[in-house]
């Protein structure tokens, strides 16, 4: 009796995107190519952080009004709620415009700020031409989340996929200025 391997492969492939058990606490990696200069891509991702950060990724008690990354080593990475409250996410560990920003992520599995937790979000910008830039994001040290590290890796993989896609879409809205994006 013939089997249906193609259907099984398809199901496994889809499931593997969301089933991280065999990847343990490997870094979460995502890349996107944007049709923008490296300087413009870096600027939108960093100083324009609040324009593209998904409101669904809020950790505050109040709905998010803005997300801010202070543009310097040692700067804060936080959000402001509609009620004016501030909620820390971490800090900027390295500021190297226009090629790299390294963030300390201090959000626990309970989606609350934990000053004792350290994960690192490394974002690198590589010029592929005058008007094309690859943005590579790697979220590592997820094992610092303790026993919940495996779940942290899975959850953050999905949130990063959404967040990086949002930053690319923010650039694509600038299309009338000659900027477009390609999300692989």
Task: Write the pLDDT tens digit of every residue in 82-93.
Answer: 999 999 999 999
**C-alpha distance from residue 67 to each of 1, 27, 51 (Å):** 57, 24, 8
The stretch 146-167 carries a mean pLDDT of 54
pLDDT of residue 154: 56
Pairing of strands 100-105, 64-69: unpaired
DSSP H or E segment with residue 51: helix 49-52
Residue 139 CA to residue 98 CA, distance in Å, equals 19
What is the set of domains in the chain, with CATH numbers? 24-54+91-182 (3.30.530.20)
pTM of the model: 0.72
> What is the end-to-end Cα distance of the chain in Å, rounded?
38
């Amino acid at each position: 009796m013939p089997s249906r391997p193609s259907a099984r492969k398809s199901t496994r492939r889809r499931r593997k995107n969301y089933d991280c058990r065999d990847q343990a606490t490997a870094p979460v990696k995502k890349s996107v190519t944007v049709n923008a200069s490296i300087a413009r891509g870096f600027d939108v991702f960093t100083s324009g952080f609040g324009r593209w950060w998904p409101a669904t990724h809020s950790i505050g008690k109040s709905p998010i009004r803005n997300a801010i990354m202070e543009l310097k080593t040692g700067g804060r990475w936080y959000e402001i709620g509609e009620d004016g409250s501030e909620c820390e996410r971490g800090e900027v560990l390295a500021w190297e415009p226009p090629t790299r920003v390294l963030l300390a992520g201090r959000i626990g599995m309970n989606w609350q700020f934990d000053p004792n937790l350290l994960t690192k979000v490394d974002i690198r910008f590589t010029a592929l031409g005058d008007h094309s830039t690859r943005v590579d994001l790697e979220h590592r040290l997820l094992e610092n989340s303790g026993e919940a590290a495996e779940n942290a890796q899975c959850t953050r993989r999905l949130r990063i996929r959404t967040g990086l896609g949002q930053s690319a879409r923010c650039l694509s809205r600038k299309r009338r200025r000659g900027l477009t994006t390609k999300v692989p």
